[in-house]
Chain A
Amino acid sequence: MTSLRSVTLQLLERLRDDSVDVDAEYVVAPSSIEEAAGILAAAAEAGIATTFRGSGTHQGYGNPVSADLVVTSTRLDAIVDWQPDDLTVVVQAGVPIGVLEAEIATRRQTAVLPEGIPGSTVGGAVAMGLSGYRRLRYGPTRDRVLQVRMASGYGKVVMGGSPVVKSSTGYGLPRLVTGSFGSLGMIGEVTLKLWTEPMALATVEVVDAAAALNSVYRPLAVIESSEGSFVYLGGPEAQISDQSDRLGAVARRGLSWPEPLSEPILLELRVPALHLGTAVKWIQRLGAPRWIAHHGVGIVSGGFEEFHSKGFSAARAWAESVAGALVVTSGTSESFDPWGSPPPSVEIQRRIKHVFDPAGICNPSVLAGDI
């Protein structure tokens, strides 16, 4: 930190964020994207490893990063512009998912962000590319990030994408940034596409999730878990009762999602939807006491009390053999890469990292292939 100019030190001092208790020399909370860009410009100049933090709910996801500077989104906490009649919202990165969803729910709208983590921030969910249970019906989160404003790793404010629901105007920066784990800079603000909640919602318990997936048109989700198999429906009452008849079961009003996994070690098998059944068998064979499978999507997540490197390696080898992946999303072990084999495009990925973060200061090595 001694390499910083005094003016930068004053800036860091002024923006100090005392609400967060982490082991780093400086924890700062910029109150604008411009300030975040100023901080990153200084950090890049001085070569200071920097990490980003929302509400800190997913700190164990990705390769561990040691950073001297932590930039938080605590002060970027405004819902900037909600246009309910256009089904879009501009929101700053530090807004908790629960706060955004509660606000837009007043007009029965939803951003379809992950359901079980209301304290997590919008910026965190976008940075990690997190999607919720209703992905089957509404697609992944990345399909709804229309525009992004960020502070780049080279210290500039950069906007990409378009403020409207349909665009073919320039490169898809929002898609690049979604799931980039803060390795290219700090997300400051996103424009999200919204959906209106269906007129009625219901949860139906079924025996065979895979069969249920094909017997109703576009359910919100089909989830098989250690708690049972459930189909989630949305639409007019008459549609829901007809669809639950077709599933041969009684609909419970509302959407009751499985209890979120909270074991110390969490992993996901991500495979082509075709192989989901096999992925479930793998998770069961690994002895996960609790697990959740997303039918039609191709993700099975499992919660474990202990790390089983040998078993995890075998499951990973299988997943990669079907063009999938096994990713540890919490409780990383030093002897086990959380991502697995680097993607075939690792060279291009490296160059992308380099052009956005030439000094290599943004969450160094957080991604697969030490990017």
Chain B
Amino acid sequence: MDAAAELIELLGAARVHTHPIDRQIFAKDAGVSVGDPAIIVLPETTEEVAAIMRIAVRAGSAVVARGAGTGLAGGAVPAAGSILVVLTRMNDIYEVDEIGRTAWVGPGVINLDLSDALTEVGLHFAPDPSSQQSSTVGGNTATNAGGPHCLAEGSTIAHVLGVEVVTSDGEVVMLGGAAPDLPGYDLRGLIVGSEGTLGLVTRVLVSLAENPPVVATMLIAFDDINDAARTVSDIIASGLVPAALEIMDNSMVQAIENFVKADLPLGAAAVLLAEVVGHADGVAAEAEVIRGVADQNRATEIRTATDGAERALLWKGRKSAFGAVAQAAPDYYLNDAVVPRTRFVEVLEEIYEIADRHGLRLMSVFHAGDGNLHPLVSYDAAEPGMTEKVITASREMVRVAVAAGGTLSGEHGIGLEKRDMMSQVFTADDLDAQARIREAFDPDQRLNPGKVLPEGSRCFDRPPR
């Protein structure tokens, strides 16, 4: 019996797809790369995922995990001939511990659905990627996703306490847990951000954050984007780490206003969204620091929203950014390199220069507080040679960030997009160490082959004798 027949026997024909149209639909994520899965399966339980893995072992097939497919780096783009395991049906919130502030959830639970389900108990899941209305907790775990509020709260890695994983040989194993510092290596810390290359996550134990009693969101406008960038650097240098510090440039502000009418200042060269949370007195003190720094950097307007509806409107603008971009051109390309906060201003200048040099249009939102750039090029892929030009410019931008002491990705992951750029930040020995980790989890390279590590990373095959 071939793998497809075995999978149909396991899951029923309705949850196994091999038709060319299905294979085309699932061939890509939200980025630019395209793959070619042989079979798409939709398991509903951990046992089914383990059984799928064992079938793949027998068939010698690669296995690729996928959540909602909102990733931008190609992490969920299936290798040719692979079995694509779509985990969106595993979307139960199993148990919520309000006292310990944890929840066990399926990998298919949508990020925002989880926080919405917790509103009544005053808790939320802190990672809030822009895709949070559609991306899954499993996908967030795979990419170590971030979002505006990761500035103070840390990325997904800081909010995943444990994972149930199906290993490359089809065993089910628990890594980490609700207790702190469990004996042994922190394998949970390896799984998070490993982009489906070390195991398939079938349940996630997340830690939940307390909803802050007071929240103030400040909208600060500038006539020069460098003033906005300097404000961010100066806020961090003052020692303050607000809940969020997001910069939008003028093109993005225009696009957002056209799209959702968030009452953003259309004439501003840049808009900084700053959010401070916590105790009322702490919030007031921090807002005062931000106001002072912004004034010093020639802010032209400062609005503070404390009521829920006003704040929601400001954030709605920010979170609609990627939808808004679609009005400008049919396609966009976005990278997410990171720089030290002290180098943010100069790197930003260089990035706009690169775009100018290539005659490209940038519309950008930046997680400025943690140095996470998001230069977004909007373009039309139908124009001949345009995609290549955009990718060339984007690579130049990443190189500038790395040269400033930064790194390739803050929250999207490496996937296919940046795999061959890894040697910009890692030596052959560094990559070999990462390849060793992969070898320990997946000696046959069954899981998401061709992702994260460039070919030939495992360069020292044997220890010295």
Contact = CB atoms under 8 A, between A and B. Distances in A.
Given A171-B193, A346-B184, 20 more contacts: A41-B464, A86-B340, A159-B427, A160-B430, A166-B370, A166-B372, A168-B411, A171-B190, A172-B189, A172-B194, A175-B186, A179-B185, A236-B285, A270-B182, A327-B183, A345-B175, A348-B187, A352-B187, A369-B184, A371-B185
Interface in A122-177: 129, 131, 135, 139-140, 142-143, 152, 154-160, 162-173, 175-176
A272 interface: yes
B411 A164 contact: no
Contacts of B434: 160, 170-171, 173
A272 B99 CA distance: 10
Lowest 10 CB-CB distances: which A-B pairs, in order? A175-B189, A196-B239, A272-B178, A85-B237, A368-B183, A239-B281, A355-B436, A274-B100, A351-B440, A238-B281
Contacts of A369: 184
Contacts of B342: 83, 85-86
Given A239-B279, A274-B97, A164 B371 contact: yes
Contacts of B439: 351, 355
A323 interface: yes
Interface in B390-424: 405-414, 418, 422
30 contacts: A45-B464, A85-B237, A86-B342, A87-B236, A108-B239, A142-B186, A143-B157, A154-B460, A163-B407, A164-B339, A164-B407, A166-B410, A169-B407, A170-B422, A170-B425, A172-B144, A176-B190, A236-B281, A238-B285, A272-B100, A274-B97, A298-B180, A323-B178, A325-B183, A339-B183, A345-B173, A346-B184, A355-B436, A356-B433, A359-B463
B174 A345 contact: yes
B427 to A, nearest CB: 7
A135 B213 CA distance: 21
Contacts, number: 281
Contacts of B240: 196
A173 B430 CA distance: 10
B100 A273 contact: yes
A235 B282 contact: yes
A358 B463 contact: yes
Contacts of A348: 167, 173, 187, 440-441
A217 B210 contact: yes
B233 interface: yes
A207 to B, nearest CB: 19
A217 B210 CA distance: 8
B120 interface: no
For B146, B240, B285, the residue with the greatest tally of chain A CB atoms inside 10 Å of its CB is: B285
A193 to B, nearest CB: 9
Interface string A334-365: 00000110111110110110111011000000
Contacts of B339: 164
B192 interface: yes
Contacts of B187: 176, 345, 348-349, 352
Interface string B202-241: 0000000010110000000000000000000100110111
A159 B430 contact: yes
B48 to A, nearest CB: 20
A218 B210 contact: yes
B4 interface: no
Interface in A92-146: 107-109, 129, 131, 135, 139-140, 142-143
Nearest to B157: A172
Interface in A301-355: 319, 322-325, 327, 339-340, 342-346, 348-349, 351-352, 354-355
B154 interface: yes
A91 interface: no
Contacts of B441: 348, 351
A302 to B, nearest CB: 16
Given A236-B282, A242-B281, A323-B179, A171 B186 contact: no
A266 interface: no
B158 interface: yes
Contacts of B411: 166, 168
Nearest to A87: B236
B50 interface: no
A325 B183 CA distance: 8
Contacts of A158: 429-430, 432-433
For B241, B339, B413, B440, the residue with the greatest tally of chain A CB atoms inside 10 Å of its CB is: B440
A104 to B, nearest CB: 11
B244 interface: no
A74 interface: no
A86 B282 contact: no
B17 interface: no
B133 to A, nearest CB: 20
Contacts of B167: 348
